[in-house]
Structure 1
Amino acid sequence: MLTLGSPFGNHMVLQQGRPVPVWGTAAPGTRVTVVFQGETASAVTHEDGNWSVTLPPLGVSSGDTMTVTGDAASTPITVSDVAVGEVWIAAGQSNMEFFMRHERHRTEVAPHCGNPDLRFIDMPEICYDGQLDEFDYSRMGLWRVANETNLDYWGAIAYYFATELHTDLNVPIGIIGCSWGGTSSQAWISERSCELAGGPWIEDWERGIEQAGGMDAYWAKQHGNPFNDRGNIVEDTFNDFILPATPTTDEIDAFLTADPIGGLPGLQPQQRPGSLFDHMVRPIAPYAIRGVLWYQGESDDLPGRNTLYADMLIALINDWRALWNDDTLPFLVMQLPGFGHWWFIEHNDFPVIRARQQQAVDASADTWLCSISDAGQEDDIHPKDKRIPGHRFALMARRHVYGEDVLADAPEAMTARAMRTLITPATEGAAPVPHGHERIAIPFDHAPGGLHCADGTDTITALDVRLDGHSVRYRATLDESDLIIDVFDSPGTFRPSNHDDSATGARRSTPITVDFAQTGWYRVNLVNRAGVPALPFTITI
């Protein structure tokens, strides 16, 4: 039987300007011919039943038809309403999966969302062999044109990213959704890479299998288990309950008591190292794409696992690039925003994940870090406003992938310097002021035209200054693209120093540490003129 692979189908978008692989299955020895935009490519099916061809670079178009034919015994395939433009993968866990059905601005957007140039496909959530046949996946894996009927099925970040990119480029935009809520990085990389970069994740899986009575016993319980039915995640009752608003813990517990199917089992098959890499990512490759949007890391915030995240993310980038045979495949990585507590999560170490995200991006070429440190939600791990992350992704793509002269990167602190030690005399009748203080200047990159506070105040949020491990009083001001911090001692005292700053002649006895956005929850208001918030940092001088 002649078939096309995934994600080929009606309404699909093909990548412009680069070779386009097309593949599928047929009877061994069958010559398969693909015709599109007047180009023809043929290949003979291998003994294993797989065939593939490559079309030459294509020009922008819409409303085209692709035909795939085999021998006389094969039923020809016609793929209709095909567009050629820009194609991106939007991947990660629940914040990337988050559907427009639940997004804050859906009601406002829906009446005006119709655009035949915008198409989205959500890849079926599959993590083991046979899962696709055990449940009804007929509503997944379909290319959906943006309109009011289809809007609920769009990933929200993908929708806002595609909309902005289309406005800018004026070509069809296709987004391939490849996400699964609650998944950690070990599922999204190859098993071999997990062995090298994330050994503890392998140990966790093996320990869970042992506790389940062994591999055979475990999989006997998984096949056909309703918990593994991911065929209609858009209209999932638990998602409809928990995602549009922020229910309390008591309300969530009551829901799960009334509807146990919404609960979470113990060791889940999507936790198997390499499971989603094998069953969701590998089937897409090497579909021609422009780049990858990555928003994930929340589920890696576990003791002894979060410190591995830089190596895991680097492994993921390398594994995916190997699948596409493209060492320069662009990755845009969303840094986790502020978050405090939610449901069963009473504490988090997101600063560890954020720092590892920064490390991974710094260590990987053609990879950029996006900031939404102004767009988190203290009491919900799922911020409801996805317009902001969609916009930030689009800005970074325009700047770094499409080469536009736009300000997109987040302000990033450079090396601080102690400017001088000052004596501020008290003025008669004035409010008491510290007599001794030290001035620190922290210059920022990606801040042409200066920095400012987005909320219109003079108070810079998410900032802490410590002396000898203890928070001290300070005054923070802005001077163009420099953050100026006057660090005060106790009133009426001046700190004698035996530590010489060779650059400035300032003398101090104890290092000063400046922390910015180093807590789980925060909302950053320090932004550049593009409104992009500054990245977290810790600087000690």
Structure 2
Amino acid sequence: MFIRIVFPLYVLACAVSLDCQAAVFLPDILGDNMVLQRSRPITIWGTADPGEAVHVAFLGQETSTAADEHGRWKAVLGPFEAHAQPASMAITGTNRIVLNNILVGEVWLCSGQSNMQWTLEQSDGGEAAIQSADHPQIRLFNVSRDVAFKRKAGKLASWEACTPATARDFSGVGYFFGLELYQELGIPVGLVNSSYGGSQAEAWTPVAYLAASEALRPCIEREKIWEAERPRVQASFDKAKEEWKVASAQAEAEGKPIPREPRVPDALRDYRIAASIYDNMIAPLLPFAIRGALWYQGESNEERAEQYELLLPTMIRSWRERWGQGDFPFAIVQLPNFRKAAPEPADEAWSHIRDAQRKTFLQVPKTGLIVTIDIGEADDIHPTNKLDVGHRLCLWALSEVYGRSATWTGPVFRKARFTGNKAILTFDEVGAGLRSGDGAPLRTFATAGADEQWHWARATIKGKRKVIVWGDGVVAVRYAFNNNPDRPNLSNDTGLPASPFRTDNWPGPTAGKR
């Protein structure tokens, strides 16, 4: 029987050994080569014998504490200014731990599913980037993709200085973001990559937050259904695997294409279980101080796009509350163009995930929306252009987090007014003014009347921040709303694309699915 076992954080921290409370232990995120977040209080925590005194010293500051009755302790230092010279931290109890080569600078969490996990080596220009990735002031921490519910003894991850060897398997998006940030700020940068391909947002969200919402509770209830079905599903999958092996061997012997390997059912994927990744890949990081988070996910929630409008803001809120740092900056990478282009306006789930991401950006404070509608690939869910994604994330951070006065995004739809056979749309983030990105007439605007039938429409820019769209009996407008729209070209002086949007709130193809 599959049983959820959520171990307390202090057990995770000491990696579950029989004598884990015989001395001071630290969680993996606290180690040699780490970067500590500047200008924030720094919590150092771990386990020891109950009542054991623990002393922490770093950069001229010292503090003492004692382990509670459960053996858990924490101490707070700082805040510190940026510090680019390697420093040591001493933690002393009945034993003494010295952490070396520590820097103080900017720390960012890089999270999501496979497009965040996608490595630098797999990215466009990756090999050249790897060869030049000797950056001792950038430190990398790759959280192990481990969602087993019983930890094995041993270290799960460690901080490493950025070198060609360590950058190769790091997140391409995270690396390009971190490198540009370091080049712009000139201070140390720490990147924590906690990502899992194929994951859904509910797996990154604590159970309590899902249980508190009637609309999100089915994410938890699916686990009970899977648990009951698991023996049958496992037997069926094992049989399919054996049949596939036989068929593959026969095909290879006959010189025929190898058949597709059977897909692992969701009921057998630990990482598809609600809160499983949060419990194992986020909670053990808390309360390590960070500046903010970068989030590239949504592909695996496509079939429940309407639910995602609530799920994504809930996940963000849960992280912020559990971290205890207030509303830290949170950037959302909007899903790119993908799949075969449709000749007519379509109402597709992928587009509604993008719209849920846009709505989250508009409704949740201190978030950013990184539009990628122009850099996807029709036939690959994993676009290899991670450089531009990292660059756009950095533009957002420099402007919205670090106070650089620059437009970091393309136009953002604000409001619509309908009069006769035209719609007057107003935009924010227009910079020096709206423009066509390629100089051609605006494309991919669609209008609908009360019948909710969509038709391509003529659109023109009026003044600095308005677009006029014409359509018979128009009551709603959509822009670039197909899975893979045909070269949408509304932009501003940055050259960055406008986000796809819609003015209507009509139910989409996933309405009611939970």
> Normalising by the residue count of structure 2, what TM-score does the alignment of the two structures yield?
0.81
| 1:123 Cα deviation from its structure 2 partner | 1.0
Q: Tell me, which stretches of 5 or more residues in structure 1 are unaligned? A: 222-226, 228-252, 422-437, 490-509
| Residue 30 of structure 1 pairs with residue 74 of structure 2 | no
| 1:534 Cα deviation from its structure 2 partner | 0.5
The residue type paired with residue 307 of structure 1 is: E
Q: Secondary structure at the match of 1:150?
A: helix
Give the distance between the partners of 1:64 and 1:150, measured in 2 at CA: 19
- Is the 8 Å Cα contact of residues 103 and 188 (structure 2) preserved in structure 1? yes
| 1:452 corresponds to which of 398, 416, 435 | 435
Mean Cα deviation higher: 163-172 or 56-65: 56-65
The residue type paired with residue 48 of structure 2 is: A
| 1:13 Cα deviation from its structure 2 partner | 0.4
Partner of 2:414: 414
- Seen in structure 2, the aligned counterparts of structure 1 residues 263 and 45 have a Cα distance that, compared at 3 Å, is same
Mean Cα deviation higher: 177-186 or 438-447: 438-447
- Seen in structure 2, the aligned counterparts of structure 1 residues 354 and 142 have a Cα distance that, compared at 3 Å, is same
The residue correspondences of 1:344-383 to structure 2 (distance < 5 A) are 349-383=349-383
> Normalising by the residue count of structure 1, what TM-score does the alignment of the two structures yield?
0.77
Q: Secondary structure at the match of 1:310?
A: helix
The residue type paired with residue 478 of structure 1 is: I
| 2:484 corresponds to which of 496, 504, 521 | 521
- Seen in structure 2, the aligned counterparts of structure 1 residues 403 and 473 have a Cα distance that, compared at 3 Å, is closer
Give the distance between the partners of 2:497 and 2:319, measured in 1 at CA: 29
Partner of 1:88: 108
Give the distance between the partners of 1:474 and 1:70, measured in 2 at CA: 70
| Residue 116 of structure 1 pairs with residue 136 of structure 2 | yes
| 1:131 Cα deviation from its structure 2 partner | 4.0
Partner of 2:444: 462
Mean Cα deviation higher: 458-467 or 513-522: 458-467
| 1:409 Cα deviation from its structure 2 partner | 3.1
- Is the 8 Å Cα contact of residues 286 and 324 (structure 1) preserved in structure 2? yes
Partner of 1:293: 294
What CA deviation, in whole Å up to 9, does each residue of 1:139-181 have, x standing for no partner? x622222221222122111111111111221111111111111
The residue type paired with residue 461 of structure 2 is: L
Partner of 1:54: 76
Aligned residues: 454
- Seen in structure 2, the aligned counterparts of structure 1 residues 473 and 339 have a Cα distance that, compared at 3 Å, is closer
Partner of 2:124: 104
Partner of 1:502: none
| Residue 205 of structure 1 pairs with residue 220 of structure 2 | no
Give the distance between the partners of 1:286 and 1:67, measured in 2 at CA: 18
- Is the 8 Å Cα contact of residues 229 and 267 (structure 2) preserved in structure 1? no
Partner of 1:16: 38
Partner of 1:238: none
Mean Cα deviation higher: 271-280 or 285-294: 271-280
| 2:258 corresponds to which of 254, 258, 269 | 254
User: Could you say what the CA RMSD is over the residues aligned between the two structures, in angstroms?
Assistant: 2.9
Mean Cα deviation higher: 60-69 or 164-173: 60-69
- Is the 8 Å Cα contact of residues 97 and 180 (structure 1) preserved in structure 2? yes
Partner of 2:209: 193
Q: Secondary structure at the match of 1:416?
A: strand
Give the distance between the partners of 1:323 and 1:266, measured in 2 at CA: 28
| 1:97 Cα deviation from its structure 2 partner | 1.2
Q: Secondary structure at the match of 1:113?
A: coil
- Seen in structure 2, the aligned counterparts of structure 1 residues 8 and 348 have a Cα distance that, compared at 3 Å, is farther
- Is the 8 Å Cα contact of residues 445 and 456 (structure 2) preserved in structure 1? no
| 1:513 Cα deviation from its structure 2 partner | 3.1
| 1:59 Cα deviation from its structure 2 partner | 1.8
What CA deviation, in whole Å up to 9, does each residue of 1:493-517 have, x standing for no partner? xxxxxxxxxxxxxxxxx23432202
- Seen in structure 2, the aligned counterparts of structure 1 residues 283 and 450 have a Cα distance that, compared at 3 Å, is same
Partner of 1:130: 150
| 1:172 corresponds to which of 185, 188, 194 | 188
Q: Tell me, which stretches of 5 or more residues in structure 2 are unaligned? A: 1-22, 242-256, 342-346, 505-514
The residue correspondences of 1:480-519 to structure 2 (distance < 5 A) are 480-482=463-465, 484-485=467-468, 487=470, 510-519=473-482
| 1:475 Cα deviation from its structure 2 partner | 3.3
| 1:286 Cα deviation from its structure 2 partner | 0.8
Identity %, equivalent residues: 28
The residue type paired with residue 77 of structure 1 is: I
Partner of 1:427: none
